[in-house]
Amino acid sequence: MSAGLTTHVLDTSREGPAAGVSVTLRRLEEDSEVIASGVTNDDGRLEEPLLDSEEIESGTYELVFDVETYYQDKPSGTTFLGEVPVRFKIDNADEHYHVPLLLSPGGYTTYRGS
C-alpha cells in the first residue's frame, strides 16, 4: 500500500462496521483547522484516504470521531462518549498510516493498523 492516512470504525457492541460516523482530521503544528473530513460508509471506512501520498507530511495529527451523533440513531440512543479525539504522530511520510477505532457506547480502543 502506498503512503497515506486511512481509518475505519468498528462498533464492538454491534459486532460490525460503524456506518455514518463523521471523522475530521487536523494537523496540530499548523493552525489546527480541519484539513480533511468524511463520513464512514457501510463498511465503516471512508471512501477516500484522509491524506494521500502527496499530502502526507511528518507531524502530529488529531482525528476526531463524532460518536455521540452515531449512537443517537441506534436503539439505545445514548452513549457515554461524545467526540473521541485520537492524537498521533506521523514520523515517516513514506509509510502508510492506518488508525482504526473500535468503539462501544461506553469506551473505545485504537491502534496503528496496517
Question: Residue 85: how many CB atoms within 10 A of its CB?
Answer: 11
Cβ contact 7:37 at 8 Å: no
**What are the tens digits of pLDDT across the range 3-44?**
899 999 999 988 899 999 999 999 998 678 899 999 999 999
pLDDT value of position 75: 75
* C-alpha grid cell, residue 64: 476526531
* Residue 2 pLDDT class (50, 70, 90 cuts): confident
pLDDT value of position 80: 87
pTM recorded for the entire structure: 0.91
Radius of gyration over every alpha carbon of the chain, rounded to an integer in angstroms: 14
Question: Residue 44: how many CB atoms within 10 A of its CB?
Answer: 20
Is residue 110 scored above 90 in pLDDT?
A: yes
What CATH code would you report for 4-105?
A: 2.60.40.180
Is residue 76 scored above 80 in pLDDT?
A: no
Which positions ≥6 away from 68 have C-beta within 8 Å?
79, 81, 82, 83
pLDDT value of position 73: 78
